Structure 1
């Protein structure tokens, strides 16, 4: 690994992460992050990052190798070939991982909401739902995966890039600690919550980076991210709240989901399925 190359890539990724988080706070406001005005302003910031981030990538790659021809759209995973697979297979793979939580939705009947037009109409009128399920997955994956990984892959092996890139993603979520503290949460509690958030966002970041590298499609980690946001963090305590045969089925579903995901991870991300031919 070229030390100069890695320093340049790491610095660029740090700048990207800082600019992304900083763009959320350029607006002077006393409202919290869930206030409609704050959400809309941050939508504007996220939209601007769709243009700022690629510019940073292009400048950095040109600095690394001025003579190299850059197909920026392809590097960012913006292509049509293999798009259908990139939309469907990552969702299938991620749903296997969430087999336990999905089983819970069958127990409580909430799975039916998926097929209710009224439920979708309500969601699409909810600005927080739009933020969590559409804007956040797209803007975060575009910045932290599509724009960071092409730079890191110039200096790191794929396996190394999968481990390095999520660190920027995890650290990028620490700004929520300040927001929680300002809203009255004790500083220590806010720090602990942020550390937990850092842990699982870093783990997801590894998975998302893996999807992007294997598929060379930004839509792949985007749909996986959106699915995870819909499901939320798995509630393992639900196993203890169930009784009899439901407890056995639910516990088995959690285990089967993890095992199934592990065995399907490589086959369902085979690059040829996504027309990702080196």
Structure 2
């Protein structure tokens, strides 16, 4: 199986996938917010249906010949090199998050291993969404299923930066829910306008952040040829959240200086290790080796 999709067809097919994923979230009418257990459980069902339908959809665009690789290999689901794909990209991402990890250490790492707290979190639908369902379904649909449709005409560099735009735009829908639920309790028109402007700023920031993050996980997928690499890193980034740069000064000296150094050192080390730690030779990546 091989892919030889035109750029127009590739972009349109990815748009359909993104529309199907986001649209599935709104199949259900609910008076509750996106974080309510009933909303989360319903959305689990709908996004899993889209995830199951995505591979046959991608298969329709393939040249089904005896040459090339299987559909599952194109989608990054294979065993060769999976151990390295599960570990090396995660270590690389942890290096990038060296500053936040030092902050966690100063906050008291024992709080992150509280068994009672962990049990309560694991039993919640919010935990399953943030660390399992969302990372897997988003990386599968927005990376594993889209990149094979784009890379044959765009090449490695362009595909890495075009593909995450669908991911970034797909997160803008969050502003709709914020406005819908906050609009019920905001009666002052002036204050309402301020809140709308603020929420739009949040959405723009979220678009930029998710697009950059999507470019990174697209890079990991193509370099490793494994779905597990971006999924694990996605889950880890959801756990860490966006780095709290504004809180560095609150730790006092010398901790704030140590944290600042950790941020800079982590970024520098990440830049130098980005390509060496994602070499295709570690992951037996033959599927996308010709593109990178």
TM-score bracket for this pair, using the shorter chain length: over 0.9
Instruction: Provide closer, same or farther for how the CA distance between residues 124 and 260 of structure 1 changes in structure 2, counting only shifts above 3 A.
Output: same
The alignment partner of 2:152 has SS state of coil
The 2-side partners of 1:30 and 1:241 are apart by 39
Instruction: Provide closer, same or farther for how the CA distance between residues 262 and 87 of structure 1 changes in structure 2, counting only shifts above 3 A.
Output: same
> Is the 8 Å Cα contact of residues 149 and 165 (structure 1) preserved in structure 2?
yes
User: 1:210-251, CA deviations, whole angstroms, 9 ceiling, x for partnerless residues?
Assistant: 000000101100001000000000001122212221111011
Q: Match of 1:252?
A: 261
Q: Match of 1:59?
A: 60
1:182-201 matched pairs, under 5 angstroms: 182-184=180-182, 186-201=195-210
* TM superposition shift of 1:67: 5.2
Matched length: 272
Runs of 5+ consecutive residues of structure 1 not aligned to the other structure: none
Instruction: Provide closer, same or farther for how the CA distance between residues 44 and 243 of structure 1 changes in structure 2, counting only shifts above 3 A.
Output: same
Instruction: Provide closer, same or farther for how the CA distance between residues 195 and 274 of structure 1 changes in structure 2, counting only shifts above 3 A.
Output: same
Q: Match of 1:141?
A: 139
The alignment partner of 2:254 has SS state of helix
Give the stretch that moved more between structures: 215-224 or 119-128: 119-128
1:235-246 matched pairs, under 5 angstroms: 235-246=244-255
Q: Match of 2:148?
A: 150
Q: Match of 2:101?
A: 102
The 1-side partners of 2:163 and 2:86 are apart by 22
The 1-side partners of 2:46 and 2:5 are apart by 31
The alignment partner of 2:238 has SS state of helix
The 2-side partners of 1:28 and 1:107 are apart by 43
The alignment partner of 1:58 has SS state of helix
> Is the 8 Å Cα contact of residues 81 and 284 (structure 2) preserved in structure 1?
yes
> Is the 8 Å Cα contact of residues 8 and 60 (structure 1) preserved in structure 2?
no
* TM superposition shift of 1:9: 0.2
Instruction: Provide closer, same or farther for how the CA distance between residues 143 and 250 of structure 1 changes in structure 2, counting only shifts above 3 A.
Output: same
* TM superposition shift of 1:259: 0.5
* TM superposition shift of 1:122: 2.1
Q: CA RMSD in A?
A: 1.6
Runs of 5+ consecutive residues of structure 2 not aligned to the other structure: 184-194
Q: Match of 2:48?
A: 47
Are residues 1:264 and 2:273 paired?
Answer: yes
> Is the 8 Å Cα contact of residues 145 and 165 (structure 1) preserved in structure 2?
yes
* TM superposition shift of 1:120: 2.8
Are residues 1:82 and 2:81 paired?
Answer: yes
TM-score normalised by L of structure 2: 0.89
Instruction: Provide closer, same or farther for how the CA distance between residues 159 and 188 of structure 1 changes in structure 2, counting only shifts above 3 A.
Output: same
The alignment partner of 1:27 has SS state of coil
Instruction: Provide closer, same or farther for how the CA distance between residues 46 and 225 of structure 1 changes in structure 2, counting only shifts above 3 A.
Output: same
* TM superposition shift of 1:117: 3.3
Are residues 1:234 and 2:261 paired?
Answer: no
> Is the 8 Å Cα contact of residues 165 and 211 (structure 2) preserved in structure 1?
yes
The 1-side partners of 2:155 and 2:230 are apart by 19
Give the stretch that moved more between structures: 128-137 or 52-61: 52-61
The 2-side partners of 1:236 and 1:207 are apart by 20
The alignment partner of 1:30 has SS state of coil
Are residues 1:126 and 2:127 paired?
Answer: no
> Is the 8 Å Cα contact of residues 141 and 218 (structure 1) preserved in structure 2?
yes
User: 1:118-166, CA deviations, whole angstroms, 9 ceiling, x for partnerless residues?
Assistant: 3332221121111101111001000000000011012111011001001
Are residues 1:179 and 2:190 paired?
Answer: no
* TM superposition shift of 1:265: 0.7
TM-score normalised by L of structure 1: 0.93
